[in-house]
Amino acid sequence: MRRSGKDLEESHKKLTRRGLMLGGAQAAFVAVLALRMRQLQMRDAEKYRMLAEENRINLQLISPARGRILDRFGTVLADNEPTYQITITRERAGDMSLVLKRLQFILPITDEKVADILAQAEKTSAFVPITVAERVSWENLSRVALNTPNLPGVTPETILRRSYPFGPDFAHVIGYVGRVSEADLTEAGDRASLLTMPGFKIGKLSIERAYEPELRGVEGTLAVEVNATGRVMRTLERTDPLQGGDLNLTLDHHLQNFALARLGDQSAAAVVMDVRNGDILASVSAPSFDPNLFVGGILSRDYAGLRDSEYRPLADKTVQGAYPPGSTVKMSLALAALEGGFATADDTVSCPGFVTISGRKFHCWKRGGHGRVNLQGALRESCDVFFYEMAQRVGIDGLNAMNARLGLGIKPDLPLSGISAGLNPSRAWKQEKQKADWLIGDTINASIGQGFVLASPMQLAVMVARIASGRSVVPRLVRPTINTDDTVPDSLGLSPAALALVQQGMFDVVNSDKGTAKASRIVTQGQLMAGKTGSSQVFSISAAERASGVRSQAELAWNRRDHAWFTAFAPFDAPEIAVSVLVEHGGGGSTAAAPIARDLVLFYLNKGLPSTDAYPPDQRGRIGTDLDRLSAVILPPDSRDARGHV
C-alpha cells in the first residue's frame, strides 16, 4: 500500500530528530572521552605513572604507648622510652636471604640471627614485619636509612620500649613485658592484630599481665602509598593510637627501695601494710632481679643464673611462698580460746618444759620450762606448753575457724602471679587429701604453726593488720579510681577485751624484759611497736648429727635451718601499719627477722632513715654503722615528692 505524502513527511521528521539525538549523544560521548583523556594525560598523569610502577596502598598499624605504672605519690615505676629497631617484611623483600646478607654489612647481625629470622619468616604471614634488630644506635639506624633503596622490605623505625627505672625494687610486684608467644596469639583470637606488630610486647607477669587490657591501649592506623620497591611515597590517612591508661599502685617507692636494701643478700621477704585500709606500702622478695633484662629477651646464661640459684630470685616469696608460720599463729589460738570461753586473762598453765599427750612427749622451746604462765605471759615468752593446753581446749575446729577469720588459708585477691592460698587444715581437709582421721597430735602441731599449717608473708601481714585494727582488712595493691581511703573495713566481730589482751601480749614480746624480741624494741615514745616472733622447723637435728656434735641451728647446713618470722604493728597506741618479715633458713625470728621489721617501722614513721636515738643506747654504735651503710645504697632523701613524702 502506497503511503501518502503526509505520512512520508512525518516519517522524515522523525528520522531527522532521531539522527540529531544520536549525533548529539555521540558528540557528548566524544567530548567526555576527550575531556577524560586530557585529565588522564595532564592532571592525573603523575598518579597513574605511579600506579604504572606497581604502586599500592598499605594499611599499617601504629602501636599505642603502654600505660605507665606509678606509685602512691605519682613516681613512675614502669615507663616507655623511645628506641630504634629494624624490621623486614617478606612480601616486599623478595629474596630475604640476599637482603639480610646486605644488611650484615651495616648491622652486627650474626649468621645464627639471620637463620632465626628466616625460620620465623616461614611461620609468619608475608605482610607481617619481622624484627631484625632492637635497641639500634642512631648511627646504625642512619646507615640503614641511607641504604634502604638497596634493602627492599627493610624499615628503620622508632618505637617505645618498656623500661623499669627502679630495676629490681619492684620486679616481683610489677612483673615485666615480653615477646608475644603463640599461646598469646591464640588467647587473643580476633584481637591479635596488634600483637603481630614487630617488637610488640605484652605483660608476662604480675601487674603487667593482670592489667594488660588497661595498659595496652588501642592501636592506630596509617594508610600509605608505596612504590614497587616498598618506598613510602606519601601518607594518605592517619588515625592516632590511644595510649593505655596509667595505673596507680598503693606502694611507696622509697619504703620499697629501703626494704629490699635492708633484706640485703638474704633469701627473705617483707610486707608492710596500712592497717586502716589494706594498702600495701611495700612488698619485697629478696633476692630480686632486673626486669629490664626480660624486655628484649634475656640471655640464656643470665636466666640460668636466676633459675638455678638456691635463693630463688624469680619467686615472689611474699605470696608464692607457703611456710609453716611457727609461733606467729599463737595469736589466733589465743583469740579462739578467749572468744570461745576456754580461757580468761587470769587462767594459768604450768610449763615444766614439756607435756605428754596420748603417750607422746611434746616439748616447749625452753627446755627448763616457763613455770606458771597466763595468756599474756605465754604470748610474751612464746610458751609452747601453754598453747598445747589451749589447743586441747579449743580443738582444731575452733582454731581453723579463727585462722580463717584472720585471713589464713585464704588466697589474697591481688594482681600477682602464682599466689598461694597457704593451708588452714581441718578434719575435712585431712580426710579428703590423706584419707585419714584427724589426730590430737595434728592439733598440737597446728597450735604452734607446725604440721600441716602453711602461710605466706602476705597472709601473716593481713592477720596482724586485723588483730591491730579489729577489722576485716583486705590487702590491695592498686589504688581505686574513686577515693575510698575513708572507707572503714567491716568489724571482725571480736570482743575488744580479747583483742586488747592479745595486743598487750604482743607489746610485751618487744617491750618487756622477758619478751622474746626485747632486743628489737624502739625507745622513741609514740613509735613503739608490738610483735610476735616465730621459727618454723625445716629439718630436725637427727640423732646422728647430735652424736657428731651438732647442737644448734648455726651448725646445720643453710638449707636445713629453721625459717625465721616476725610480725608486728605500730605505733602501738594508734596502729598505722602491719609488718611481716620472713628470713628463709634464718634460724630464730628474734635474731634474724625482728631487727628488720623494726627498721621498716622506723623508716615508715620517720619518712626516711631514723636517728640512732630511736634504738636502745647499747645498740646505737652498731646501728649507726648499719644506717651509714644503708644510706649509701638507698634512694637519696632529696627525692621526696612535693608533699614531703618519701
14-53 tens-digit pLDDT: 656 666 677 667 767 767 676 766 665 666 665 555 555 4
* Domain 253-289+315-639 CATH superfamily: DD-peptidase/beta-lactamase superfamily (3.40.710.10)
Q: Which residues are catalytic?
A: 327
Ranges 171-185, 409-423, 483-497, 500-514: which has the least confidence:
483-497
Q: Which residue has cell 613512675?
A: 76
Query: What DSSP designation does 444 have?
Result: H
Predicted pLDDT at 55: 56
Concatenated DSSP letters of 294-344: HHS---HHHHHHHHH-TT-TTS-TTTT--B--GGGGHHHHHHHHHHTTS--
Across all residues in the chain, what is the average pLDDT? Answer: 87
Q: Which residue has cell 572507707?
A: 487
Predicted pLDDT at 108: 85
Ranges 59-68, 241-250, 256-265, 466-475: which has the least confidence:
59-68
Q: Give Cβ neighbours of residue 86 (< 8 Å, ≥ 6 apart).
A: 103, 107, 131, 132, 133, 136, 141, 144, 154, 155, 156, 157
Predicted pLDDT at 155: 83
Report residue 583: phi and psi, to 5°.
-120, 110
Predicted pLDDT at 43: 64
Spatial contact of 77 and 257, defined as CB atoms under 8 Å apart: no
In one-letter notation, the amino acid at residue 273 is M
Predicted pLDDT at 200: 82
Average pLDDT over residues 145-165: 85
**Per-residue pLDDT for 605 more than 90?**
yes
Alpha-carbon gap, residue 365 to 374, rounded angstroms: 17
As given in the structure block, the three cell numbers for residue 564 are 625465721
Average pLDDT over residues 390-394: 97
Average pLDDT over residues 199-221: 89
Ranges 112-126, 293-307, 555-569: which has the least confidence:
112-126
**Per-residue pLDDT for 641 more than 50?**
no
Predicted pLDDT at 158: 79
- Provide the percentage of residues in the chain whose pLDDT is more than 90: 58
**Per-residue pLDDT for 244 more than 80?**
yes
Alpha-carbon gap, residue 524 to 311, rounded angstroms: 35
* Tens of pLDDT, residues 395-433: 999 999 999 999 999 999 999 999 999 999 999 999 999
Three-class SS of residue 249?
strand
Predicted pLDDT at 53: 46
Alpha helices in 161-287 (DSSP H): 171-174, 182-188, 206-210, 212-216, 253-263
Ranges 520-524, 540-544, 601-605: which has the least confidence:
540-544
Predicted pLDDT at 19: 65
Alpha helices in 104-236 (DSSP H): 111-122, 138-146, 171-174, 182-188, 206-210, 212-216
Angle in degrees, 0-180, between the axes of helices 457-469 and 496-511, rounded to the nearest 10:
120
**Per-residue pLDDT for 203 more than 60?**
yes
* Sign of the dihedral defined by the CA atoms of residues 401, 407, 409, 413, in that order: positive
* Domain 58-248 CATH superfamily: Penicillin-binding protein 2a (Domain 2) (3.90.1310.10)
Angle in degrees, 0-180, between the axes of helices 384-405 and 330-339, rounded to the nearest 10:
80
Alpha-carbon gap, residue 144 to 105, rounded angstroms: 10
Q: Which regions of the chain carry the CATH code 3.40.710.10?
A: 253-289+315-639
Q: In terms of Cα–Cα distance, which of 85, 185, 62, 177 is closest to 125?
A: 185
* Tens of pLDDT, residues 465-489: 999 999 999 999 999 876 655 678 8
Alpha-carbon gap, residue 138 to 144, rounded angstroms: 10
Q: Give Cβ neighbours of residue 397 (< 8 Å, ≥ 6 apart).
A: 426, 427
As given in the structure block, the three cell numbers for residue 443 are 592439733
Spatial contact of 338 and 495, defined as CB atoms under 8 Å apart: yes
pTM for the model stands at 0.83
Report residue 407: phi and psi, to 5°.
100, 0
Three-class SS of residue 83?
strand
Q: Which regions of the chain carry the CATH code 3.90.1310.10?
A: 58-248
As given in the structure block, the three cell numbers for residue 48 are 597513574
As a whole number of angstroms, the longest Cα–Cα distance in the chain is 149
As given in the structure block, the three cell numbers for residue 605 are 614513721
Average pLDDT over residues 599-620: 96
